[in-house]
Amino acid sequence: MDNTLSNTSSIRHDWTVKEVNDLFAMPFMDLMFKAQTVHRQHFPHNEVQVSTLLSIKTGACPEDCKYCPQSARYDTGLEKETLMEVEKVIKAAKEAKATGSTRFCMGAAWKNPKQRDMPYLVEMIKEVKSLGLESCMTLGSLDDQQAQQLSNAGLDYYNHNLDTSPEYYGEIITTRSYQERLDTLDNVRSAGMKVCSGGIVGLGEEGKDRSGLLVQLANMPVQPESVPINKLVKVKGTPLDNVEDLDNFEFIKTIAIARILMPKSHVRLSAGREDMSEQTQALCFMAGANSIFYGCKLLTTANPDENSDMLLFKKLGINKEEIHNSPYETEKQVDAAIIRHAEKDELFYDATSKLN
Ligand code: SF4
């Protein structure tokens, strides 16, 4: 029985890989229709949240993630850097705000932060928050005390991806276990922060692994508020440099199924956008992606620049989402947002005015 649409307002935490495989096997148009229907039940139409990602410490990472140019184990020609000064981070955050980002994400290539780094990280969070931006960090594994310290400083989101299915994970990373990742996410949640967790597709995994990743994310006791879906950006010198390309339709389907399984989460179209046509990106939005990274660098790989993003938004009539306590935590908030959106629709001819 198709129970994925029968009660889309209730969130399920008991998805099976078989059910998700079945969704992947659906005709493309049927899947897109289902995903867009779920999306419209939970989010204002035509709104996309915009985040900026800054690398605050680049390269020389001790981990061995096979897709990553920042691992010290691969010769990718990347220049390694020490932790960025707080002033430089704030300057970048101000620029991000000026170009319309609502969330500022700071990433460090670490296995985990050291205690000596914590005062700087706390300072960065406080300064970013004082600009009126939402804050997010990705720093590797966190113990419960570190998670609490970051939360106390006001950090809104913590990103830690599961990357792929538990079964395929060992092919990609050997220096950090899947369980360590789940433990970090537990620590983040227990400390009161919102969870940003997703994965990467196109790592040479099979379809069942893409299903397995989505099942892991959807079946968490509380689904991640933010779910980045990345398409591998192949970087010369990494072990996955020559892996076979994933078909873009398979990527779009992964977005659509993330939307269906996690109806209230922001699904983020993340790495890999640079190589996608406007039409592919539009299909990703149609499939329910409602968050992007904005800015010319996505950690260390290229990202479409702000102007081309804004041009695409304008062509598609997409507005940038304002900060309004998203993701929606109660049905009441959803209703209010949809009413707000309906009011906006009456002025549809002006729907892109915010982009100018
Ligand atoms: S993905 Fe993160 S943890 Fe893995 S090598 Fe790259 S920077 Fe290090």
What is the residue with the minimal CA distance to atom 7 of ligand 1? 109
- The residues annotated as belonging to the active site are 61, 65, 68, 105, 136, 196, 268
Residue 342 pLDDT greater than 80, yes or no = no
* Confidence label for 41 from pLDDT (cuts 50, 70 and 90): very high
pLDDT for the residue 341: 38
pLDDT for the residue 303: 57
Residue identified by tokens 């996410």 is 185
pLDDT for the residue 298: 46
Residue 68 pLDDT greater than 50, yes or no = yes
pLDDT for the residue 290: 95
Q: Which atom of ligand 1 is nearest to the CA of 111?
A: 3
Binding residues for [4Fe-4S] cluster: 61, 65, 68
Q: What is the average pLDDT across 16-42? A: 97
pLDDT tens readout for residues 250-299: 999 999 999 999 999 999 998 788 889 999 999 999 999 999 887 645 45
Q: How far is the CA of 61 from the centre of ligand 1 (A)?
A: 6
pLDDT for the residue 346: 34
Binding residues for [2Fe-2S] cluster: 105, 136, 196, 268
Q: How far is the CA of 62 from the centre of ligand 1 (A)?
A: 8
The answer to which of 146-155, 207-216, 311-320 has the lowest mean pLDDT is 311-320
- Specify which of 243-247, 299-303, 320-324 reaches the highest per-range mean pLDDT: 243-247
**Which CATH number applies to 17-355?**
3.20.20.70
Query: Where does ligand 1 bind, in terms of residues with CB under 6 Å?
Result: 61, 63, 65, 68, 70-71, 109, 140
pLDDT for the residue 76: 79
Domain ranges of the chain: 17-355
Mutating to test ligand 1, I would choose from 56, 66, 68, 139 the residue with most ligand atoms within 8 A of its C-beta, which is: 68
Q: Which atom of ligand 1 is nearest to the CA of 109?
A: 7
pLDDT tens readout for residues 190-205: 999 999 999 999 999 9
pLDDT tens readout for residues 113-162: 999 999 999 999 999 999 989 999 999 999 999 999 999 999 999 999 99
**Amino acid identity at 234:** K
Residue 330 pLDDT greater than 80, yes or no = no
Q: How far is the CA of 171 from the centre of ligand 1 (A)?
A: 15
pLDDT for the residue 17: 97
pLDDT tens readout for residues 3-18: 444 444 579 999 999 9
* Confidence label for 99 from pLDDT (cuts 50, 70 and 90): confident
pLDDT for the residue 57: 85
Q: How far is the CA of 156 from the centre of ligand 1 (A)?
A: 22
Tokens of 26: 């659906």
Binding residues: 61, 65, 68, 105, 136, 196, 268
- Round the average pLDDT of the chain to a whole number and report it: 84
Nearest in space to 203 (alpha carbons), one of 178, 235, 225: 235
pLDDT for the residue 301: 55
Mutating to test ligand 1, I would choose from 54, 55, 61 the residue with most ligand atoms within 8 A of its C-beta, which is: 61
pLDDT for the residue 305: 61
pLDDT for the residue 189: 96
Residue 340 pLDDT greater than 60, yes or no = no
Q: Which atom of ligand 1 is nearest to the CA of 138?
A: 2
Residue identified by tokens 């035509």 is 46
What is the residue with the minimal CA distance to atom 3 of ligand 1? 63
Mutating to test ligand 1, I would choose from 58, 66, 70, 177 the residue with most ligand atoms within 8 A of its C-beta, which is: 70
Q: How far is the CA of 109 from the centre of ligand 1 (A)?
A: 6
pLDDT tens readout for residues 216-226: 999 999 999 99
The answer to which of 81-85, 209-213, 222-226, 287-291 has the lowest mean pLDDT is 81-85
